[in-house]
Chain A
Amino acid sequence: MNAVLSPLAAIGAAVLGMLAALGRVALFAFDTVTHLFRPPFYGREFAAALVQIGWLSLPVVGLTALFTGGALALQIYSGGARFNAEEVVPSIVAIGMVRELGPVLGGLMVAARVTSSIAAEIGTMKVTEQIDALVTLSTNPMKYLTLPRVLAATLAVPVLVAVGDAIGIFGGYIIGVTRLGFNEAAYLKNTVDFLELWDVTSGLLKGAAFGFIVATMGCYYGMNSGRGAQGVGRATKTAVVAASVMILAANYLLTELFFTS
């Protein structure tokens, strides 16, 4: 009997553990948001976070979008050729980039770069007693460390997504014109004609949600880091994995919400 029940008990314990962790993250996120409405607000830390998260992520997001746009154009051209639909390349590249690939790949790249950095930085601050030092200096770590990063990421990632969308479409345009023989003006016209405002807006909203997830997970796992180098390493790894999975899950839920009604 035990041989049957033990695996079930292990699965149950894992599920309960995951739900408990999700609950703790939700409470942490809620607490972070409430600090937005309670002064003091640390403007310098917010500005520094904007530069770190937004400006310094531009190269990696831009390069990702450029290559993705180019590859997408090639894929759609080759796939479309099976039923003589090569001309849809510009519109599919544009819609695919702004609705899906721009926000998701942008979010994942920012998670790789920013979530890891935030979790490692805050985790190190915790194990070297810098978080305790903040408290003794009458400074709330949630206000000083977490809120500026979460707010900066929530505002910066949509901008990164917008830039990534433009670069991705440009990547498709370059490949379309130079490799696939599209007329320059026709490619641009097809791109613009089939793109709707909601396509772009929905992608930017996804970007804001992914930015919130990216910074919240980095801060949560950093604040709850274990002791020593191993503890910080584990916190960093878990933060990136959790942020990536949550971005993909949130992407599905938001797509359901935005496009199935």
Chain B
Amino acid sequence: MRPIWLRHPTPTASENRTPVDAVIDPLEQARRGLQMSLSDLWWRYFSIGGMSSELEVEAIMYRALVPSESDRDFLAVALNERFSELGGDHPIPYSGDDETQLE
């Protein structure tokens, strides 16, 4: 499968502009690279069982809110499935990936 490169955030859309870029989460970097709207991300996240609101997800992306391990995994899955649609291979790690063997 061809790798998907995360694009540098484009400063054109207002959604992609923030005065403090340094504090965004890697999940947010991925979302921008995918050019996926926050709303689309939330719907995917919600469809697989995520329980936080869109506003809370936004807060997580900007590190204003610390997600639980599984909440973070829900977001990772939502992003990874979009990557998969574009031919990528689950670039966002899930919790415990480093210590556990993949089955």
Partners in one complex: no
A residues contacting B by CB (< 8 A) are none
> What residues make up the interface of B, taking CB atoms closer than 8 Å to A?
none
